[in-house]
Structure formats: C-alpha cells, structure tokens
Amino acid sequence: MRTIRITPATEQDVPLILDLIRGLAEYENLADQMTATEEKLRATLFGARPAAEVVLAHDESECAGYALFFPTYSTFLAQPGIYLEDIYVKPHSRGKGIGFALLRHVAKLAMERDCGRVEWAVLNWNEPSIAFYKGLGAVPLDDWTAYRLTGEALENLAHPR
C-alpha cells in the first residue's frame, strides 16, 4: 500500500519550500508576483516568531507537495480558525490523494486546536481544485469579495503627504 507521510518542514527545507512555492506560482500564472527568497523565507518562517506553519507531503521517498497555513479568528464564533494560504501538489504526483492527505492533516489540526473553520481562496478558473474542495463539503463564500491594500496605496493611507 502506498504511504503518504505529512511532516512539519524545518529550516533545512527552505530551498525545497521555495521551489514548491515557485511551482504553485507558476501553476497559478502568478510567477510575476513572486519576490520570495530563501533568506526571506528563513527569516519569516523559521525565526524567533514563525509567521506560518509549513508541512511537506512525502510520496514514498519524494517530497510531492506542501501546505502552508496560519491561525485566523472569527468574531461571530469568538473562536480561532485556520487559513490555508497554500496547498500544492507537484504535477507528476497529482491524482494520488496527496492534496487530500494535506487537507485532512490541516483539518485534524483544526479540530485539535478547537478551531471552528478552515478557509482558503481559489482562483475562479481552477475547476479541478474547485470540484475537489466542493466534494469535501467546502462552501464557496460567493457573497464576499476580498480587498487588498498594498504598495503605494498602503503607504499613502499610513503616511499621507
């Protein structure tokens, strides 16, 4: 029987994590938005105050994918949750249940940590992923749109000239 193992990433995995993030960015056609480096990943994920958790999925001896997530908070529930920032499986490893194993791992952590929700965002053209998520009982929050303030707009709001 095939064994998929999910393990927490360590600082030694930073080059691998950067490769996986690059793989996800390319899959999402967003590689131009990516400015991550090994140095920045090391400082933010494996320093004194890690900003997120990373787990790796191993298919036999190969690292086949990863998930990266951090805690959230719902005021309506007065309860924490988990936000799944990234979930990615390498192209040649798809269809083997690796994405399922990663998502199950995060769901288990959510239950252990008394979290009320696991949430994430999907690109609207990504039909295979959407079908996968809906099959697990995940619900699209169609009534909501995310907004982002970044770059100059963020600086101008913080420090008006």
Contacts (CB under 8 A) with its own copies, residues 1-30: 21, 24-25, 30
89 vs 84: CA distance, rounded Å: 14
Cβ of residue 48: shortest distance to its own copies, in angstroms? 13
Residues of span 39-78 touching its own copies by CB under 8 A: 40-41, 44-45, 51-52, 68, 70-78
Q: For its own copies, which is the closer residue by CB, 7 or 52?
A: 52
Location of structure tokens 């959230």:
72
Q: Which stretch binds its own copies (CB under 8 A): 5-13, 33-41, 56-64, 91-99?
A: 33-41
Crossing angle of helices 14-27/38-45, nearest 10°? 110
C-beta atoms surrounding 65 within 10 Å? 27
CB 18 within 8 A of CB 44: no
What residues numbered 125-154 form the site for its own copies, per CB under 8 A?
125, 130, 133, 136-150, 152-154
The distance of closest approach from Cβ of residue 83 to its own copies in the complex, given in angstroms and rounded to an integer, is 7
Q: For its own copies, how many residues bind (rule: CB under 8 A)?
A: 71
**Rounded CA separation 140/5 (Å):** 29
